[in-house]
Structure 1
Amino acid sequence: MATAILVCEICAEEFDSKTHKPLCLECGHTFCFSCISSLMKNSENKHCPKCRKQISKPAKQIPVNYSIIAANSQGCKRKRSPDSKKLCLQHAKVMEYLCMDCMAPMCSKCLTDNHATHKAKLLDDLCQENDHDDSRAKVHAALNNKLQKLNDMALVANGTLKLMNDITNLKTDIEGFNVSVDARIKSTEEDLQAWSNMDSSDENAKNKCREMLCHINSEHEENLKFTDIKKKLDSATKKCNLLVPTTPSHELMPNDTHWTVTDLSSWKRAIASLINERKPSTLTVVSTHTSPIPGLRLLLSSLTEHNLRNIYLMPMDSFWKPAGQTDDEIGTIIKESGDRLKRLYGTPAQILAYSNNETRPPKKLGVRLSSMKDVERCAEVARVGASVRDVCFVRGVPYNTGVYLRGISWMPCQWHFPDLKDSDLDWFFAILSPVYFPLKYLNLVLPRDSLSEAGARRLLMKMAADFTNMAIYCEPHSEIMTSNETAIECWELSTISIIIGYFQEFTT
């Protein structure tokens, strides 16, 4: 009887002794090396995808369950179980949906969190629909695009192998040339010593010096060898540059104009444009929780050589992270590129790490507060002298935070409260109470709120009674949008509204 083949519950690939070797976590659950490596590299909360127990060791130090490899090697049928379903690496839930906008599989949690405004289809429904359905056509186009990219990768891989052979041969030539030059150095040093100590009465010494003088300019052979090696090296360099997957010129961003990067697609275009020697005059980058942009640091570091200082970076996905989550990459970005950013978004510690090393503080700040310690450090940030325009309040900061901020003369224009729910409203009102006085304007930004209809009405009535000029930015499906019967302006929280609000407020 055939032995059942064991597979990883995340990727549904068979366990083997290579990239999919089974790693046994401390909690007893087993997943493949590839999935655990990806989890440890990309996820901020390093927990078991199944029981959520923390993973304390890097993937290479987690013990391998060799008994599973042995069991698989004894199986007669080497195929994946038809019932195996991939789990979402972030939420440990079965990926049942396909986002038709991003062409990415996702679980129910991804659907409500990161793809709430996108069109989604059940995988089972897609597999049953007729050939004329628009969704199936999109999948077909995505597969064609994937195939083209894989073919491009294959060309790059083959070209790389040929280049490696050329470099190996070039290495042999350079090693031979180096040996020849070393020998000539030694010979020339001997000639120099002989010339310095020449005895005119010694006929042999005079003959040797005559021979040396006849070859004093004999560098032609070495120059030819060096020229030949340089040509081969230049050829290898050109081949190396050609190995970069090309982007059609019509897809590149125009040179010396304003670039806007708001999603993964425009990020790829920007990177490809920089590779093709194009650069922006100014750059706006918006990364949100519904459209996060990976590799922000890569994009900004690629602009270093262009000395671009007009960069408007809005890392709102980091700024709005839920309680208990931090983003170390933003701290690195602030440290490396802070002098080129028009505004900094980060924690007090991240902002102070930059400001303490720079003589010129940033013009404006967005400060994220998630603990009592963050609130206490606001006084240090205030001494930097920068203008604080945005403050994000994560659940966990004390009720009297608003009182403290007013005491240090902070009057931000935009107040961010991510993940607000009904039980948070008393805390929310307490923080805002010290600013119940006429302001030029006050914006509330409420990403991912889960207020009920009653909670939304309570918030709206309280804000309308206490403020004369304000606007609320919230998710399109928020109860605030449908429950508003006040004079408060309610706007859909989107990339466009973020950019418009940013630049309108930037001119004030």
Structure 2
Amino acid sequence: MASATIECDVCNEKFDSGNHKPLCLTCGHTFCFSCITNLLKLSGTKNCPKCRRQFSQKIDQMLVNYALIPSENTARPHPPSSLSQAPCLHQEKALDYLCVDCLELVCFTCTEGTHKNHTIELIDGLLHENESVLNSWTKIRTTMRDKFGRVNSLVSVSDDILSLIDEMKTEFQGWKNLLLAQKMSTAQDLQAWDVSASSVIENKRHECKEMLCRLKLKPPENMEIPEIRARLSAALKKCDSLQTYELPTYEPGVPWTVTSRAEGERAVASLSINIKPSRLVVVSTHTRPIPGLEDLLYRLCYHHAGDISLLPLDFFWRLAGQADGGIGAIIDKFSDRLDTMYGHPSQVGAYLDKRCPAGMQSEATIEGPCSIGVRFDGDLFGRSFLLPRIIDDACCVRGMARNISSNLRKHGYSVTRWHFPDLCDEDLNWMIGILHQFRDSRLSLVLPRNGLSATGTRRLFEELPQIREVYHDPGAAHLTSAGSAPDLTFIELSTNNIIQWM
């Protein structure tokens, strides 16, 4: 056998059954235990040294390539790569101790380092039941009992899901058979209609009338759709409950803020076991967009009976002419569950129509929602929209007609914060022209993806001394250094600061 087949390609040491035992990555390439251990110590993603493919296996999950171990070292009846047999990943020493606080096997060096202030038991000491290790024995047993309870619950839930799938499969097959019959009947009607149209015969008159009646008749099999939707929702709820044993839950009775998909899954897991927040806020920004926002909102709404405060700022601040990314569908589907609204004037108007009873849409009633944001990307005042007199957030998209501010002023609206995404020096005349109409009020600006130069920033503050607050992305030193007025405040666009708007 060539030496290349029995040596590690990284350290060139021969494979054996100890520190250089050959471990196989998911990509199929093999390296020794020692080299993989060193690789796992590095921060960031882990990649195969040969093909650079990413892997996420733990060392105790990797298969041992026994074919590469010389014959004199292969007399082992089972793989030696279990966690208890592997040396410490940090120190490469034997795992002879248990950290009772972390319930983690550790080596002697780790007991004096990372786990220095924790309760440590020698493994051999745990083998003899006595008073000195009674507390540790109790904690281990309690943890095992809790794990057994969680796993047992997961088995029960899995059984429920399997039964539900079997029931749904039968029901879906029945529904499909009805649809196939409907399809065949409609195809026959279509064929018969074509014949009737080409040769109008008196005895066909009755048949044509029958076909026309069937055309408008609502098929009874379509009435199954609500029941199917309910079944799917029940299955989804069951699947969500599987995660409650793996994900940490939120505290009950306090505000929850969801800014990522992971936090969303945590919120769903908490809600599915009846842990409720005092308020649920979902924030998606241009720096931290939440993927699959529509699906996440559906699941949150399914488990949460109260309103949700949604701030879809990544859509609110999108570039001119850019697709809405599905926010229109989200507004249509969930507006009755949202106590905030960020969208076009027509979307905000429709939302307020839905939230306020007919005939009661006065200035008082439309100030009920927590926060209203209106995105202006055209001269939209040719149409009549119901908007609150105080608009919390007005987003002015580059290229929008400058007369938007005069129209707002004319109709008696005021604005708390003005948003100008992607602002550049060449946009200053346009921006100043808009804000000029409101120069007698305190101006608060939000500048996501700000592209102003130091010169442009100085001009902005010189021509609009009424500016009192500027919200900006992190790292905008040229922006903060240009404003020197004592009552001018610069605030980073962090999640905590954004939530203060509501």
TM-score, length-normalised on structure 2? 0.50
Corresponding residue SS for 2:475: coil
- Does the Cα contact within 8 Å between 1:417 and 1:446 map onto a contact in 2? yes
- Tell me if 1:470 matches 2:468: yes
Corresponding residue SS for 1:273: helix
Regions of 4+ moved over 6 Å: 137-142, 237-240
Corresponding residue SS for 2:385: helix
- Does the Cα contact within 8 Å between 1:414 and 1:444 map onto a contact in 2? yes
- Does the Cα contact within 8 Å between 1:365 and 1:386 map onto a contact in 2? no
- Tell me if 1:342 matches 2:339: yes
> Given residue 372 of structure 2, which amino acid in structure 1 is its aligned partner?
L
* Residue 134 of structure 1: aligned partner: 43
- Does the Cα contact within 8 Å between 2:393 and 2:418 map onto a contact in 1? yes
Q: Separation in 1 of the partners of 2:307 and 2:167?
A: 44
> Given residue 134 of structure 1, which amino acid in structure 2 is its aligned partner?
S
> Given residue 287 of structure 1, which amino acid in structure 2 is its aligned partner?
S
* Residue 143 of structure 1: aligned partner: 56
> Given residue 143 of structure 1, which amino acid in structure 2 is its aligned partner?
S
Match 1:380 to one of 339, 364, 385:
385
User: Residues 130 and 381 from structure 1, CA distance in 2 versus in 1: closer, same or farther, beyond 3 angstroms?
Assistant: same
* Residue 389 of structure 1: aligned partner: 392
Q: CA deviation at 1:239?
A: 13
Q: Separation in 2 of the partners of 1:461 and 1:348?
A: 32
Q: CA deviation at 1:493?
A: 1.5
- Per-residue CA shift, 1:345-364, capped at 9, x if unaligned? 10012122333445344534
Q: Separation in 1 of the partners of 2:344 and 2:441?
A: 28
- Does the Cα contact within 8 Å between 1:473 and 1:491 map onto a contact in 2? yes
User: Residues 352 and 239 from structure 1, CA distance in 2 versus in 1: closer, same or farther, beyond 3 angstroms?
Assistant: closer
User: Residues 306 and 427 from structure 1, CA distance in 2 versus in 1: closer, same or farther, beyond 3 angstroms?
Assistant: same
Equivalent residues in 2 for 1:317-466, closer than 5 Å: 317-327=314-324, 329-360=326-357, 361=366, 362-363=368-369, 364-372=371-379, 374-377=380-383, 379-382=384-387, 385=388, 387-439=390-442, 442-463=443-464, 466=465
- Per-residue CA shift, 1:215-267, capped at 9, x if unaligned? xxxxxxxxxxxxxxxxxxxxxx9999479653436612234432111122211
- Does the Cα contact within 8 Å between 1:461 and 1:486 map onto a contact in 2? no
Q: Separation in 2 of the partners of 1:335 and 1:268?
A: 23
Q: Percent identity?
A: 34
- Does the Cα contact within 8 Å between 2:472 and 2:491 map onto a contact in 1? yes
- Does the Cα contact within 8 Å between 1:446 and 1:473 map onto a contact in 2? yes
User: Residues 318 and 239 from structure 1, CA distance in 2 versus in 1: closer, same or farther, beyond 3 angstroms?
Assistant: closer
Uncovered stretches (5+) of structure 2, i.e. residues with no partner? 1-26, 28-37, 62-150, 175-233, 358-365
Q: Separation in 1 of the partners of 2:329 and 2:170?
A: 38
Q: Separation in 1 of the partners of 2:323 and 2:169?
A: 48
User: Residues 396 and 297 from structure 1, CA distance in 2 versus in 1: closer, same or farther, beyond 3 angstroms?
Assistant: same
Q: Separation in 2 of the partners of 1:238 and 1:334?
A: 25
Match 2:292 to one of 291, 295, 302:
295
Equivalent residues in 2 for 1:5-404, closer than 5 Å: 133-135=42-44, 143-144=56-57, 163=162, 167=166, 241=238, 245-248=242-245, 251-305=248-302, 308-327=305-324, 329-360=326-357, 361=366, 362-363=368-369, 364-372=371-379, 374-377=380-383, 379-382=384-387, 385=388, 387-404=390-407
> Given residue 385 of structure 2, which amino acid in structure 1 is its aligned partner?
E
- Per-residue CA shift, 1:177-215, capped at 9, x if unaligned? xxxxxxxxxxxxxxxxxxxxxxxxxxxxxxxxxxxxxxx
User: Residues 138 and 489 from structure 1, CA distance in 2 versus in 1: closer, same or farther, beyond 3 angstroms?
Assistant: farther
User: Residues 167 and 308 from structure 1, CA distance in 2 versus in 1: closer, same or farther, beyond 3 angstroms?
Assistant: closer
Corresponding residue SS for 1:380: coil
Q: Separation in 2 of the partners of 1:257 and 1:417?
A: 33
Q: CA deviation at 1:454?
A: 1.3
Corresponding residue SS for 2:484: coil
Corresponding residue SS for 2:56: helix
User: Residues 142 and 402 from structure 1, CA distance in 2 versus in 1: closer, same or farther, beyond 3 angstroms?
Assistant: farther
- Does the Cα contact within 8 Å between 1:367 and 1:392 map onto a contact in 2? yes
If asked which structure has higher relative contact order (CA below 8 Å, sep 6+), I would say 1
